[in-house]
Chains A and B, each alone.
Chain A
Amino acid sequence: MSQKHILLVDDEDDIREVAGITLEAVGGWRVSTARSGSEGVAKAIAERPDAILLDVMMPGIDGPTTFGLLQAEPSTREIPVILLTAKAQGADLRYFAELGVAGVLTKPFDPMSLPERVAEVLAAAAERSRVEKAE
């Protein structure tokens, strides 16, 4: 099986760098990065990653808008997206969940356990969609 590929969209250099390091080293992902929503959409279309980790608060196109663009594009609609947010209040979380993302991870994250959490979220989302399809 070929190496799984994740696209990391965040305007923060530090976060892209740290998350990239541990997703590669610990999670075994192939990682590509984008520093804005529009770059993220372009790369998602071009690279077809297996998953996208998407920051919520970015200048220009923010995370939820980017997610909307990815949903509108047939070639990226099926890619599971995990939102990454520093705003972890109940109301925000409910809003993000309703968007239809695969999951939400909060910042700050522990770099070492990030790959595991990403894997958990993706597994849970896959399970949900399997159940939905079965219904």
Chain B
Amino acid sequence: MPAAVEAVWQRSREQTAGRIETLEEAIGAMLDHSLSEDLRARAERDAHKLAGSLGMFGFPRGSEIARELEQALAAPAPSQAFHLAELALALSAEIESRPAGPEENGDGDAPPADGRALLLVGPDPELIERLSAEALERNFRPRSAATSAGAHELLAMEPPDAAVFDVNFAEGGADEALKLIEDLTGREPPIPVVVLTGSEALLDRVEVSRRGGRGFVQRTRPAAQVIDAVSATMERSDSARFKLLAVDDDPAISDALEALLAPSGMAITTLNDPLRFWEVLAEVAPDLLVLDLDMPKLDGIDLCRAVRTDERFGQLPVLFLTGRTDADSVQRIFEAGADDYVNKPIVGPELVTRILNRLERIKLFRDLAERDGLTGVATRRRATAVLDDFLAMSDRFDQPVSFALFDLDHFKQLNDRLGHTAGDAALRRLGEMFMDAFRGEDVIGRWGGEEFVVGMYGMARDDGVQRIAEVLESLRREEFTSGEGASSRLSFSAGVAEYPRDGGDLHALYRAADDALYTAKAAGRNRVLPVGSKVGAAPECPDVVVVEDDPMLAGVLIDSLETRGYRTRWIDDGQEAVSALAGASPEVSPALIVLDVDLPGLDGLSVLRRLARDDVLRSTRVIMLTARSGEAEVLEALELGAYDHVAKPFSVPVLMQRIRRTLKR
């Protein structure tokens, strides 16, 4: 079509849509037996206009349909209403079959309209350019933004099918990016987000994964691998979607189905040629099959019967679309093994509702097989499948996977003391907490009894410990009560292993995590230990010494550290700290000292001075806890050789993150 004519069409689309709406309104009124003369006349006129113009715009079939509608509307017979509804639907489908916006002009750079939209966010134009080029190659429609604000604008125009973030988490903007990631992954259906990793110091993986970010890939990897990761992540989220296969020889109907159901987020495949049915069925492996009753060559009844006798698809729910609702037809439909039918002319909200209802039921069944009935987390079978998937991804993209195994502490006593109902309630609550804490992509499964597993893709062991410890801390805050009012608090012990360094397959990982879990239990329970932790109180060789005079704050810190498997010692006086930590051969040599500035005996900076003088800082790192106003203090501390500082008041997770970071390097 000449561009000038196409331009006219683009301007008149809306008018066309309005006319079709009038037709639909009139036909709806016919179905209700409430068609007024005024509406009839308007509809007839609009059908006439459509008949006269659609062909000119390249919709010859649209004109034909409109003409038939025009003739019928001149003297409408109620018996025709269904047929007319079908025509109106076909008419809309015909118009919708051509995308809005100018036609492709054949320019090689123009992205294909059917590609999946990929949002690329990052400050490095060169990197984004490389990723865009690769994405185009792979039939994505890349959209890029340098900042989160820019990304927001793109989002408002078109929600992407996936996103890649390359964010410098050190230079501000991290909050914005994290919020954006959370927004994307929190949508229904969630939009998969791949986060590029560079220098580990700049990216807090724990924070990213808490927001549902996924599929970490090194930013130095070739663009092709990054896009691979996007595809793999999308595939995984696709497999969680419901798949629907619709067989209808009329493309107008299948197109309408696609248009109606697409917003529900399910994956829809339509097939217009029933002869390719088996091939496509096997390929798609749908959750629901929608069949047209009347098709040439092979009709829906034949297909449904065949499906019912098939070993693999015998249980597949089948919904019929039919233009006939006479008793005979309906009986034939159910005899063939259909689960439900929908009257075809009203392919609209009713069909969507019926399909969604059907899917709810399927979801229920699927959940029965894949979700643990009591806790709501994945069954062992399901968790195993997802974990295997994670390990394969890890091999491909060179990312770690954290595997945590945990077990409720003293669960038997809880059951004995408060009764099994309270025990069940505790397990259920635990499941809820884990599902809240681990969004979307991590897998949490009940391995049996009160033993659970968590798989975290892209998380190193220490990051995994951190995330599990956070759940442990919130569990400890909860009180569980029996019907009689007796109450108890709960905790769990966990072991965390990392793939591939602690085990080359799921079995080996499980054994390694189980060892660490055993160590955690032996160390007094109520903690999360990574593989390789040593047991014992061992006051002479703690990992972290806390020098802090406020017993409350010190208690919280010690508790948090021990929960994460660190061995600790608490000193509440500056003078004491010097005698224990400084000198030619100090009594204790921890990996890290958390040192308060304000101390009795000797202040923190003086302690630090002594530590520097005695060369302790060569093997031990120091994080200073400073007052918010003490800029001079901070400078002095850093000059003296403190590794990092955290201003009071601070949040425990922030301090824990800094500690993790400090100990990592």
A-side interface residues toward B, CB under 8 Å? 12-15, 17-18, 21-22, 25, 57, 86-87, 107-112
Among the 9-residue stretches B47-55, B391-399, B522-530, the one with 4 or more Cβ atoms under 8 Å from chain A is B47-55
In Å, the complex CA distance between A108 and B51 comes to 7
Among the 9-residue stretches B1-9, B126-134, B220-228, B356-364, the one with 4 or more Cβ atoms under 8 Å from chain A is B1-9
Contact A107 B56 (CB under 8 A): yes
In Å, the complex CA distance between A15 and B52 comes to 9
Contact B8 A12 (CB under 8 A): no
In Å, the complex CA distance between A17 and B15 comes to 15
Contact A108 B55 (CB under 8 A): yes
- B31-66 CB contact bits vs A (8 Å, 1 = yes)? 000000000000000001101111111001001000
| Known A86-B48, A108-B55; further 17 A-B contacts with Cβ < 8 A | A14-B8, A14-B9, A14-B56, A25-B2, A86-B67, A107-B51, A107-B52, A107-B55, A108-B51, A108-B53, A108-B54, A108-B57, A109-B56, A110-B55, A110-B56, A111-B56, A112-B2
Is B12 an interface residue, CB under 8 A from the partner? yes
Give every chain A residue within 8 A of B48 (Cβ-Cβ): 57, 86-87
In Å, the complex CA distance between A31 and B56 comes to 18
In Å, the complex CA distance between A123 and B563 comes to 96
* Residues A12 and B52 in contact in the complex (CB < 8 Å), given A86-B67, A108-B60, A108-B63: yes
Contact A86 B2 (CB under 8 A): no
Contact B55 A109 (CB under 8 A): yes
Give every chain A residue within 8 A of B15 (Cβ-Cβ): 14
Give every chain B residue within 8 A of A57 (Cβ-Cβ): 48
In Å, the complex CA distance between A57 and B51 comes to 12
Top 4 nearest A-B pairs (CB, nearest first) are A108-B55, A107-B52, A86-B52, A108-B56
**Closest chain A CB from B62 CB (angstroms):** 9
**Closest chain A CB from B14 CB (angstroms):** 12
Give every chain B residue within 8 A of A18 (Cβ-Cβ): 5, 8, 56-57
- 5 CB-based A-B contacts, threshold 8 Å: A12-B52, A14-B9, A87-B48, A108-B52, A108-B63
Give every chain B residue within 8 A of A110 (Cβ-Cβ): 55-56
In Å, the complex CA distance between A18 and B48 comes to 18
Give every chain B residue within 8 A of A25 (Cβ-Cβ): 2, 4
B62 to chain A: closest residue by CB: A108
Give every chain A residue within 8 A of B53 (Cβ-Cβ): 12, 14-15, 107-108
In Å, the complex CA distance between A25 and B2 comes to 11
Chain B positions 406-431 with a Cβ under 8 Å from a chain A Cβ: none
In Å, the complex CA distance between A25 and B3 comes to 12
Give every chain B residue within 8 A of A112 (Cβ-Cβ): 2
Give every chain B residue within 8 A of A107 (Cβ-Cβ): 51-53, 55-56, 63
A10 to chain B: closest residue by CB: B52
Residues of B contacting A: mostly: helix
In Å, the complex CA distance between A87 and B44 comes to 12
Give every chain B residue within 8 A of A12 (Cβ-Cβ): 49, 52-53
**Closest chain B CB from A75 CB (angstroms):** 30
In Å, the complex CA distance between A109 and B9 comes to 14
Q: Which of B15, B52, B63 has the most CB of A within 10 A?
A: B52
**Closest chain A CB from B472 CB (angstroms):** 68
In Å, the complex CA distance between A27 and B8 comes to 19
Contact B2 A22 (CB under 8 A): yes
Give every chain B residue within 8 A of A17 (Cβ-Cβ): 8
Give every chain B residue within 8 A of A111 (Cβ-Cβ): 1-2, 5, 56
**Closest chain B CB from A89 CB (angstroms):** 9
In Å, the complex CA distance between A112 and B1 comes to 8
In Å, the complex CA distance between A110 and B8 comes to 14
Chain B positions 5-39 with a Cβ under 8 Å from a chain A Cβ: 5, 8-9, 12, 15
B12 to chain A: closest residue by CB: A14
B47 to chain A: closest residue by CB: A86
In Å, the complex CA distance between A22 and B6 comes to 12
**Closest chain A CB from B407 CB (angstroms):** 72
In Å, the complex CA distance between A108 and B94 comes to 16
Give every chain A residue within 8 A of B51 (Cβ-Cβ): 86, 107-108
Q: Quick one: which of A21, A86, A109 contacts B4, CB cutoff 8 A?
A: A21
Give every chain A residue within 8 A of B9 (Cβ-Cβ): 14
**Closest chain B CB from A91 CB (angstroms):** 13
In Å, the complex CA distance between A109 and B53 comes to 8
**Closest chain B CB from A118 CB (angstroms):** 14
**Closest chain B CB from A17 CB (angstroms):** 5
B15 to chain A: closest residue by CB: A14
Contact A21 B5 (CB under 8 A): yes
Give every chain B residue within 8 A of A21 (Cβ-Cβ): 2, 4-5, 8
**Closest chain B CB from A62 CB (angstroms):** 12
Give every chain A residue within 8 A of B60 (Cβ-Cβ): 108
In Å, the complex CA distance between A107 and B47 comes to 13
B67 to chain A: closest residue by CB: A86
**Closest chain A CB from B382 CB (angstroms):** 56
In Å, the complex CA distance between A18 and B59 comes to 14
In Å, the complex CA distance between A108 and B61 comes to 11
**Closest chain B CB from A28 CB (angstroms):** 15
**Closest chain B CB from A22 CB (angstroms):** 7
Give every chain A residue within 8 A of B55 (Cβ-Cβ): 107-110
**Closest chain B CB from A100 CB (angstroms):** 23
A111 to chain B: closest residue by CB: B5
Q: Which of A25, A86, A112 has the most CB of B within 10 A?
A: A86
In Å, the complex CA distance between A57 and B49 comes to 9
In Å, the complex CA distance between A14 and B56 comes to 9
In Å, the complex CA distance between A3 and B15 comes to 34
Q: Which of A57, A107, A108, A110 has the most CB of B within 10 A?
A: A108
Q: Which of B5, B51, B54 has the most CB of A within 10 A?
A: B5
In Å, the complex CA distance between A84 and B560 comes to 85
**Closest chain A CB from B235 CB (angstroms):** 44
In Å, the complex CA distance between A9 and B133 comes to 51
**Closest chain B CB from A87 CB (angstroms):** 8
A15 to chain B: closest residue by CB: B53
- B626-639 CB contact bits vs A (8 Å, 1 = yes)? 00000000000000
**Closest chain A CB from B45 CB (angstroms):** 8
**Closest chain A CB from B88 CB (angstroms):** 18
**Closest chain A CB from B38 CB (angstroms):** 15
In Å, the complex CA distance between A18 and B53 comes to 10
In Å, the complex CA distance between A25 and B53 comes to 20
In Å, the complex CA distance between A126 and B31 comes to 52
In Å, the complex CA distance between A87 and B8 comes to 23
Q: Quick one: which of B5, B49, B52 contacts A22, CB cutoff 8 A?
A: B5
- B221-248 CB contact bits vs A (8 Å, 1 = yes)? 0000000000000000000000000000
A56 to chain B: closest residue by CB: B52
In Å, the complex CA distance between A123 and B8 comes to 30
A14 to chain B: closest residue by CB: B12
A109 to chain B: closest residue by CB: B56
In Å, the complex CA distance between A112 and B2 comes to 8
Give every chain B residue within 8 A of A14 (Cβ-Cβ): 8-9, 12, 15, 53, 56-57
In Å, the complex CA distance between A86 and B62 comes to 13
